[in-house]
Structure 1
Amino acid sequence: MTLNVTQPCQEVDNVSSLSTGEEFITVAQLYYILLSICALTQVFSIGGVVTNVINIAVFVKLGFNETSNMSLLTLALSDLLSTILTLWGTLCITPGFSDAELPFLPTEIAQMTGAGLSMFVLRCTAWVTAFISFERCLCILIPLKVKKWITPKTTTAVLVAICITTIGPSIAVYWRWNFMWKFLPGRNATVLGAAVVDTPAVVLLDTVFNIIFGTIQPIVAFFTVLVCTVFLVVYLRRSSQWRKSMVSAGGEIAGGDNSSRFELKRNISRKEEKLVRMITSIANIFIVCYTPNTLMFLNMAIFPSFSLFGQHRNVFILLYLVSVLANSVSASVNIFIYYNMGTRYRNALRLMFHFDSEDSVK
């Protein structure tokens, strides 16, 4: 077995534009961009760790009588793991830390313990978001049947299957990369690094996995969320128009029984609408923040030279850093959506921190 040792971040030099062949970004420019993006990403990642720990505690406190809480808990767990891996990965490639005389090579170890694994966790986040959006669409289309289909048991099974099929294939990272001790003459020291396995079988297996789990899987998840979000937005608009028309009709209803019955229907509609609005907001943020990932996956599928070791590696690194920053932002802001749109979440959070609740706890 031939091991071809490489150092990913040291491979960078002047590259050509994807379309014209002219220089697009220099090493010096990439250095300062990398420094700025890594700093921002670490700030949002730290915030993501804190906010998702809070989210997990709140959803556990709320319980799992509602399947939506189970899905949102899984989303918070995925975001937490993603932000931890992102925080470690960006620290390893940050200029200064990566150049320090550590007992390991940060830029190489990050590929195996940070950057490589975080991409698989992000795919888990994508599919959990897709499932949440799709579940809400079913609740709108077939409200009577969906309660029989989507039970706590089936939701658990689906979420476990998503985690296995998205995070499980991360083992592929270790097919192509191995830990390896390296002697550095300049430091007169042996440090832990990584080596790339270039045997035909491993390269073929890595290629197949990249096509299935690195391109097709995340792109399908992205467009599933996109389609479901469009449907939910259309539903919200129609629901808003319906409620306005019912409010006008309600003023003409005579008798307490009819008025009470109408008020009950209107309250149920508002409760459903609030949940749909919350999920739509989560999906919208996901779409915006996951777009750089989707563009990166599409470019990798279309342009073979668009990779870490290809001709356009500088552009690849730049788009990858932007996507990592966007994902860290997405993972850290959901708490604000939950707090502003979820009454039960807000009550549980206020009680957890011993604040006086302004809403009635149900």
Structure 2
Amino acid sequence: MYLDSTEGDNTSLYPARDQMTDNPFHLGEDHSKDPSMLTLASGILSDEQFDIVILFIIYISQLINNCAIIANSLCIAVFLKLGFSEPSNISLTALAVCDFTLAVLYTWGNLCFLLTYHNVSLPFHGANVTFLTGSAQWVFLSSTVAWITAFISFERCLCILVPLKERRLITPRGTFVSMLIIILLTFCPSFFIYIRYKFVWVFNPYLNVTILNTIPVHSEFAILFEKIYIVICGVIQPLLAFSIVLICTVLLVVQLRRISSWRMSFTPAKRQGVRPEEIPAASSSAAEAKINKKEERLVRMVVTIATIFIMSYIPTCIGLLCDVIFDGLNLFGVYSRLDVVSGYIISLGQPISGSVNILIYYKMASKFRSAFRGLVRLDREEQERHELE
């Protein structure tokens, strides 16, 4: 999302061309390769209208990100209070930390764009530097969130399918190591982008200042490396994680329904004095018989989190596929404006998903609810009110 400027317009969202110093991080206005895009790019949305649309989306996204920052800060505080004796607390804490970081990176990008729009002098090129210090990391951290969600879903699948072995397979130490591996393989590759692009100090004669900017490295190795790692880390990894979450969620939903059906068939038999061992084996599996109420509530909570993640991540997957299929759908192609607007809209799913998780925890996890109420002193206030009455 690196915006260019029309000449003589200093109030546009786009940084002036003289600041770009032949840098490709901007929306080009040359649609000669596809004349039909003249209507889409210039006829439907003028520069002023495009600014209004982007500004509206930025302000809405920032409101959502503020909620995500507050919500995930509270989640982290509650999980720290609960401790990490349970593997699920470790994975959910990692998820909250990633959601919090995503919201902070998104806020950093929005802040730079708004400062640029309001003509605030910055010691760096807002849009371009944001790319290397926020946008690229945001994309890869979204993949980290996807893989952590996949791990949580897979963990609950093991709880349902092999309940007797789950505690030996999923331990606090193993979960902690798994979180580190996921972060290492999904988020850390974002820093490889510095092989393809680098920071430089450039002089701006119009402002008579030297500012920090970015330029691409044009070596064949850097270009090839960028293509390979973007396809692997930016497309294949998140789509694979999404598929795992989807499959595990379906399995959990199916298994929960089988457990509910088994319990419904068991209750009448129990009332009639029939011993559990006399119930036909076909009506229940060993896994169904062993799962308890507490584990079932946790599974339902994970299913809810995964379902919200799936709904919010579907547009991202579609966007990733479109970027690969359509050559012009990128920041430098003939569909640049469409890419920016759709990218902003699609990216709203992540902070929305991160904001509502705290509501799910509070509603479906009794320990989290109790710790949260103690953290914000709701229980103490209620106790004092009852004492006054």
TM-score range, shorter chain: 0.7 to 0.9
Cα distance per residue 1:109-152 (max 9 Å; x no partner): 11011111111111110100000001111111111122211112
1:279 aligns with 2:302: yes
Task: Flag the 1:348–1:266 CA change in 2: closer, same or farther, 3 A.
Answer: farther
Matched residue type, 1:139 = C
1:23 aligns with 2:35: no
1:8 maps to which of 4, 17, 25: 25
Cα distance per residue 1:210-232 (max 9 Å; x no partner): 11101111110111111111111
- Which residue is equivalent to 2:71? 51
- The answer to whether the Cα contact below 8 Å between 1:292 and 1:319 also exists between their aligned partners in 2 is no
Alignment partners' CA distance in 1, 2:107 and 2:75: 19
1:154-233 matched pairs, under 5 angstroms: 154-233=174-253
- Which residue is equivalent to 2:3? none
SS at match of 1:308: coil
TM-aligned CA deviation for residue 295 of structure 1: 1.1
- The answer to whether the Cα contact below 8 Å between 1:306 and 1:313 also exists between their aligned partners in 2 is yes
Matched residue type, 1:129 = T
Task: Flag the 1:198–1:99 CA change in 2: closer, same or farther, 3 A.
Answer: farther
Matched residue type, 1:306 = L
Matched residue type, 1:274 = R
Matched residue type, 1:172 = F
- The answer to whether the Cα contact below 8 Å between 1:5 and 1:196 also exists between their aligned partners in 2 is no
2:53 maps to which of 5, 10, 33: 33
- Which residue is equivalent to 1:335? 358
> Structure 2: any 5+ residue segments left out of the alignment?
1-19, 276-287, 383-389
Task: Flag the 1:279–1:100 CA change in 2: closer, same or farther, 3 A.
Answer: same
TM-aligned CA deviation for residue 52 of structure 1: 0.9
TM-aligned CA deviation for residue 17 of structure 1: 12
1:133-152 matched pairs, under 5 angstroms: 133-152=153-172
SS at match of 2:160: helix
Alignment partners' CA distance in 2, 1:54 and 1:17: 50
Alignment partners' CA distance in 2, 1:248 and 1:23: 68
Cα distance per residue 1:44-65 (max 9 Å; x no partner): 1111111111111111111112
SS at match of 1:102: coil
- Which residue is equivalent to 1:259? none
1:235 maps to which of 224, 231, 255: 255
Alignment partners' CA distance in 1, 2:135 and 2:31: 22
Alignment partners' CA distance in 1, 2:211 and 2:119: 13
1:231-270 matched pairs, under 5 angstroms: 231-253=251-273, 269-270=292-293
Alignment partners' CA distance in 2, 1:30 and 1:234: 46
Alignment partners' CA distance in 1, 2:242 and 2:196: 27
Alignment partners' CA distance in 2, 1:144 and 1:268: 9
- The answer to whether the Cα contact below 8 Å between 2:154 and 2:248 also exists between their aligned partners in 1 is yes
Task: Flag the 1:248–1:338 CA change in 2: closer, same or farther, 3 A.
Answer: same
- Which residue is equivalent to 2:374? 351
SS at match of 2:200: strand
Task: Flag the 1:48–1:319 CA change in 2: closer, same or farther, 3 A.
Answer: same
- The answer to whether the Cα contact below 8 Å between 2:160 and 2:291 also exists between their aligned partners in 1 is no
Task: Flag the 1:141–1:250 CA change in 2: closer, same or farther, 3 A.
Answer: same
Task: Flag the 1:17–1:347 CA change in 2: closer, same or farther, 3 A.
Answer: farther
1:305 aligns with 2:314: no
1:130 maps to which of 150, 164, 176: 150
- Which residue is equivalent to 1:64? 84
- Which residue is equivalent to 1:260? none
Alignment partners' CA distance in 1, 2:21 and 2:192: 17
> Structure 1: any 5+ residue segments left out of the alignment?
256-264
SS at match of 1:6: coil
- The answer to whether the Cα contact below 8 Å between 1:7 and 1:107 also exists between their aligned partners in 2 is no
Matched residue type, 1:165 = L
Task: Flag the 1:22–1:228 CA change in 2: closer, same or farther, 3 A.
Answer: farther
- The answer to whether the Cα contact below 8 Å between 2:329 and 2:339 also exists between their aligned partners in 1 is yes
Percent identical: 37
SS at match of 1:43: helix
Alignment partners' CA distance in 2, 1:172 and 1:303: 24
Q: Tell me the TM-score normalized by structure 1.
A: 0.88
TM-aligned CA deviation for residue 12 of structure 1: 4.6
Larger radius of gyration: 2
